[in-house]
Amino acid sequence: MSVPTFTNFDFSPAPEQTKQRYQHLAAKFHAEFPNEAIQYYTRAPGRVNLMGDHIDYNLFSCLPMAIDFDLVAAVHANPESLEIALVNTDPKFTKQQFTLPEDGSVITIDDNNFNWSSYFRCALIVAHKYLLEKGRDASKPLVGMHVAFDGTVPTGGGLSSSAAFCVASTLAILKANGVDSISKADLTRITVVSEHYIGLNNGGLDQCSSVYGEDGMCLLVQFRPKLNGIPLKFPTLPDGEELKFIISNTLVESPKKLTAPVNYNLRVVEMGIASDLLAKKFNLSLPSESNINSGTLRGFMETYFVEVEKQSPWDGQDNVKGMKWLQELTDKCDEWFTTEEKVGFTTEEAAAALGLSVEEFTQKYLTKMEVRYDKLKLYQRAKHVFSESYRVLQCLHLLQTIENGDDFLREFGGVMNASQQSLDQLNGSSHPNCNRICEIALANGAYGTRVTGAGFGGSLVSITTAKKLPNLVNALVAEYYKKEYPNITDDELANALVDTKPAWGASVVAAAAVE
Ligand code: ATP
Ligand code: GLA
Ligand code: MG
C-alpha cells in the first residue's frame, strides 16, 4: 500500500477551509521565496492514542487514531543547490538555513544548536539512509530545498506534532530526491527512528499512526510479527448519536527532549532493565530488541511462556491467548518482586539483582542515554506494561464484538479509566493537572478519560457523545481552564480543548489542488 497523492481537498472534512489554509501557506512561501514555484505539498497528521501508552517500545500493540490536525509542507526542490531554507507560518519558528554536505555524506545534528530545524535534519538523515539503501550513489549530495511549513498540531501537547513534522518532512525530502512512490510500511519503518537522532528513544506508535491513519477509523498498531497499522471501525451509537473524542490539553508543556532523562528515556531504561531482571529470575536469555539493546517485556513474555510454562508460541493474533498471558504476567509481578523491590532499586541493588558489578551495569544500561533517578521503579513499570497491553487487547475485543453503542461507551470508557490509574500510579506519567482534568471530565459526561501519549503533562483524551459534549466542555472551561489560567484567551482555549475526528494519514498533495 503506497502513500497516496491527493489532487484535491476531498480528503479533508472541510475541503474549502483546508484549501484556504494551503493558499495562506502558499502566500507565506511566495513572500519568502518570490521567484520559485511550489512543486508539491506533503502533509502528515498528529495522533491521539486511545489505549496503550509506554508499551510501544516494549513491542506491544497500541490503539491510536490519526487526527484532523496536521503539518503541511510546501516544497520547492532545486537540484542545482545545496541550500536548505525553512520558514514557518508560526512566528515562534524563525527562519532556518543551512547547507547540505557537498560530498554526499549524511548530515549530522549539533546537539548544542537544537531548534525546530533539528527535526528536519532528522528527516534528512532517515530519507538519505533510505536512498542509500535503495542504491543511491553515496558521493551524490541530496538536492537543495526551500520549504514553508504550517502546523495545526499543538506542540509539546502529547499529540505528536514532532512525528507529524518528521513524517511530512521525510516524504518531502524523498520526493525531492526522486522517490515518487513509497509504501506506508517503508515510510513508517524509516521515520520511526527519526527522533532517535536527537536522543529521543520513542517506539513506533506516533509515526505508524501518522502514516496509516484512515478517515473515521482507529488503528491497531502492531510491531509483531511486523510493523503494521490495521484500520478498525467504531460501533454506531443508537438514534444517530455521535461518538466524540475530546482532547484537553493541560497546557503543562512537556518538551520531550528536555525532560527525557527523568521522564521518557528513563521509562525506556527502566523497562529494559525490568525485562532483563525478569529473564534473569528464570535464567532466560532474551533477544536484544529494545532501544538500549536490552530485552523487552514482550520478548520476556514470549520466552517465558514458551520456555518456562511450555506453551506454544503466541502468533500475536489470538486475542484470547494474548489476554490470558498478559493477565497472568500482571498478577505474577506481585509475586515476583519482593516488598523491598516494590519500593524501587538503587543502582547497586539493580546491579546485584542482575549479577553485575555497578560498572558493568552502568556500562550496559546507563550509557546509551542520560538518565537521572533516585530509585528504578522496575516492578511498577513492568506491571504497567503488562496490564496496559492487556487493556489494548480488551479494547480490540470490544471493537470487534460489541454492537450496542451504549455498552461500548461504558465498557471502553471503563478501560480508559483503568489505564489512567495505571499511568498515574504505576508508570508515573500522569501529572496533578491531568488528574484534575480526569475528575472534572468524569463528573461531567465523559465515559472515560486518560492521558494520551507520553504524558508528564500534555493532553488527555475523553470519550463521550455529541449530546453530552456541551456540558463536558463547559465544565472543563469553568473548572479547569478559567481557574488554572485566568487570563487564557478564546483562541488559546479553542486550541486547548478540541473535538477531534479520526483522519487520513500522510500524503502528498498536488500543487494544482491549491490553484
Ligand atoms: P508528544 O511527543 O508528547 O506527542 P509533541 O510531538 O507535540 O508531543 P515534542 O516531541 O516535544 O512534542 O515535539 C515538539 C517539537 O516539534 C517542537 O518544539 C518543534 O521543534 C517541532 N515541531 C512540531 N510542530 C512543528 C511545526 N508546526 N513547525 C515547526 N516545528 C514543529
Ligand atoms: C511518545 C512516543 C511514543 C510512545 C508514547 C507513549 O509519544 O513518541 O513512541 O512511546 O510517547 O505511549
Ligand atoms: Mg513528539
Residue 293, domain extent? 264-428
DSSP state of 311: P
Residue 237's pLDDT is 86
Are 254 and 466 contacting, i.e. CB atoms less than 8 angstroms apart? no
- Whose cell is 444517530? That residue is 240
Q: For residue 31, give the 3-state DSSP assignment.
A: helix
CA 282 to chain centre: 33
Distance CA(161)–CA(209), nearest Å, equals 12
What mean pLDDT is predicted for residues 254-263? 84
Residue 424 maps to a domain: yes
Ligand 1 mean position to 45 CA, how many Å? 12
Q: Which DSSP string do the residues of 171-193 spell out, in sequence order?
A: HHHHHHTT----BHHHHHHHHHT
Answer yes or no: is pLDDT of 253 > 90: no
- Return the pLDDT at 403: 85
What pLDDT shows up at residue 404? 86
| Residue 172 pLDDT | 98
CB contact burial 108-137 (16+ within 10 A = b; e otherwise): ebeeeeeebbbbbbbbbbbbbebbeeeebe
Say yes or no to pLDDT of 211 above 90. yes
The verdict on 222 and 178 lying in the same domain is yes
CA angle 169, 457, 482 (to 5 degrees): 110
Ligand 3 center from residue 161 Cα (angstroms)? 6
Same domain assignment for residues 80 and 221: yes
In a domain, 348, yes or no: yes
Number of domains in the chain: 2
3-state DSSP of 196-233: HHHCCCCCCHHHHHHHHCCCCCEEEEECCCCCEEEEEC
Pairing relation of β-strands 243-249 and 218-222?
A: unpaired
CB burial of 66-83 (b: ≥16 within 10 Å; e: otherwise) equals bbbbbbbbbbbbeeeebe
Nearest in space to 378 (alpha carbons), one of 313, 287, 281 = 281
pLDDT, mean of residues 207-213: 98
Q: Are residues 191 and 299 in the same domain?
A: no
Look at residue 169 and tell me if it is in a domain.
yes
Q: Nearest residue CA, atom 2 of ligand 2?
A: 202
Counting from 1 in the atom list of ligand 1, the atom nearest the Cα of 118 is 20
Please count the other Cβ atoms lying within 10 Å of the Cβ belonging to residue 342: 14
247 falls within a domain: no
What pLDDT score was predicted for residue 199? 86
> Residue 201: pLDDT band by 50, 70, 90 thresholds?
confident
Ligand 2, atom nearest to 162 Cα? 8
Q: Does residue 436 register a pLDDT over 90?
A: yes
What is the per-residue DSSP string for 404-425?
Answer: -HHHHHHHHHHHHHHHHHHHHH
pLDDT single digits (tens) 123-153? 999 999 999 999 999 999 999 999 999 999 9
Q: In the predicted model, what is the mean pLDDT of residues 169-189? A: 97
Share of the chain above pLDDT 70, in %: 100
Within 6 Å (CB) of ligand 1, which residues are found?
71, 88, 90, 93, 116, 119, 149, 151, 155-162, 165, 254-257, 453-454, 458
Answer yes or no: is 258 within a domain.
no
Compare 199 and 67 and report the one with higher pLDDT.
67
38 with 154, same domain: the answer is yes
Pick from 366, 399, 428: which residue ends a domain? 428
Nearest CA residue ID for atom 29, ligand 1? 116
Residue with cell 514470549: 302
Whether residue 215 is found in the same domain as residue 121: yes
pLDDT on residue 200: 86
Shared domain check, 275 and 222? no
Of the three residues 396, 428, 460, the one that is the final residue of a domain is 428
**pLDDT tens digits, residue range 354-365?**
999 999 999 999
Point out the ligand 1 atom lying closest to the alpha carbon of residue 195.
Answer: 10
| Cβ neighbours of residue 509 closer than 8 Å, sequence gap 6 or more | 5, 6, 7, 9, 22, 40, 41, 42, 43, 72
* Ligand 2 atom at minimal distance to the Cα of residue 203: 9
Q: What is the residue with the minimal CA distance to atom 3 of ligand 1? A: 158
Q: What is the mean pLDDT of residues 167-183?
A: 98
Query: Which H or E element spans position 435?
Result: helix 432-443
Check residue 111 and give its pLDDT. Answer: 83
Mean per-residue pLDDT, 433-452:
98
Look at residue 495 in the predicted model and tell me its pLDDT. 86
Within this chain, do residues 68 and 115 fall inside the same structural domain, yes or no? yes
Instruction: Please state the rounded mean pLDDT for residues 361-381.
Output: 96
Are 179 and 131 contacting, i.e. CB atoms less than 8 angstroms apart?
yes
| Nearest CA among 288, 292, 231 for reference residue 260 | 292
Say whether the peptide bond before residue 64 is cis (omega within 30 degrees of 0). no
| Three-state secondary structure call for residue 70 | strand
334 tagged catalytic: no
**Identified catalytic residue from 68, 206, 276, 424:** 206
Closest CA to 86 of 75, 101, 102: 75
Are 308 and 411 within one domain?
yes
In angstroms, rounded to a whole number, what is the distance separating the alpha carbons of residues 167 and 255? 19
pLDDT averaged over every residue in the chain? 96
Average pLDDT, integer, range 373-393: 98
Q: What is the CATH number of the domain that holds 318?
A: 1.20.1440.340
| pLDDT for the residue numbered 156 | 76
For residue 509, the cross-strand partners are: 6, 41
Query: What CATH number has the domain bearing residue 30?
Result: 3.30.230.10
Domain check: are 51 and 118 in the same one?
yes
Q: Is residue 476 part of a domain?
A: no
208 and 277 in a common domain? no
Q: Is 458 domain-assigned? A: no
Q: Given pLDDT bands bounded at 50, 70 and 90, which one contains residue 240?
A: confident
> 404 or 307, which is more confident?
307
CA of 410 to the centre of ligand 2 (A): 26
For ligand 1, mutation pick of 47, 84, 121, 162 (most atoms within 8 Å of CB): 162
Quick one: what percent of the chain has pLDDT higher than 90? 91
- What angle do helix axes 432-443 and 405-425 make, rounded to 10 degrees? 160
Count other Cβ atoms within 10 Å, centred on residue 8: 14
The verdict on 16 and 86 lying in the same domain is: yes
pLDDT for res 258: 81
Domain boundary at 408, 428, 448, which?
A: 428
294 lies in the same domain as 419: yes
Whole-structure pTM value = 0.95
Q: How far, in Å, is the centroid of ligand 2 from the Cα of 203?
A: 6
Q: Is the pLDDT of residue 435 over 80?
A: yes
Residue 100, beta-bridge partner list: none
Residue 452 maps to a domain: no
CA distance 193 to 199: 10
How far is residue 68's CA from residue 48's CA, in Å, rounded to a whole number? 10
